[in-house]
Amino acid sequence: VISPRAILRKLFLVDIFTGLAVTLRYYFSRKVTVQFPEQVLEPPERFRGLIRLYRDERGEPLCIACKACQRACGQGCFVAIEGVREEGRKTPKPVVFDWRLDRCSFCGLCTLVCPTDAIRNSNEYLLTASGREACFFRHDEMYLTGDDLQEFFRKERP
């Protein structure tokens, strides 16, 4: 037995108008969809993106090749780190720094143990590589960000 209330609802198309009201409300409300890739979101401050090396204000590497990050990483991302001590410099400078993105879980452990804050999680998250080889970074490539990083990922490899 259909209740009189249900009959009235059907008669005055209440459900249809309720649905239309919802549609109209969303049509005029603020859009939350991001039109990627034309529009790219800035990640939050604590976002753990691609691991990058950093330099000081004079452009000198902050890394002193102490290998603490290599020891902390449980994934074996740091394949090789070697440093040299140049004349007039108190700390060694990295000359070899081979790092593999394809093994990284973005845990951030390496950044926690670094004594000079040389290695950090950047806010880079556009990490589409053309193959495994494109995930292998050498020392100079560990500083790439933004467009330079995208170019690195797109680079043809033998």
Q: By CB under 6 A, name the binding residues for ligand SF4.
A: 51, 63-69, 72-73, 75, 77, 81, 104-110, 113-114, 116, 118-119
- Closest approach of ligand SF4 to the CB of residue 153, in Å: 17
- Closest approach of ligand SF4 to the CB of residue 156, in Å: 26
| Residue whose CB is less far from ligand SF4, 2 or 121 | 121
What backbone phi and psi angles, to 5 degrees, belong to 95?
-115, -25
- Closest approach of ligand SF4 to the CB of residue 66, in Å: 4
| Residue whose CB is less far from ligand SF4, 9 or 107 | 107
Question: What are the CA-CA distances from residue 130 to residues 134, 146, 150, 151, 152 (Å)?
Answer: 6, 17, 11, 11, 10
| Residue whose CB is less far from ligand SF4, 62 or 153 | 62
Per-residue burial over 83-121, b if 16 or more Cβ lie within 10 Å, else e, is: beeeeeeebbebeebbbbbeebeebeebbeebeeebbbb
- Closest approach of ligand SF4 to the CB of residue 63, in Å: 3
| Residue whose CB is less far from ligand SF4, 109 or 152 | 109
Nearest partner of 74 among 37, 103, 52, 41, judged by Cα = 103
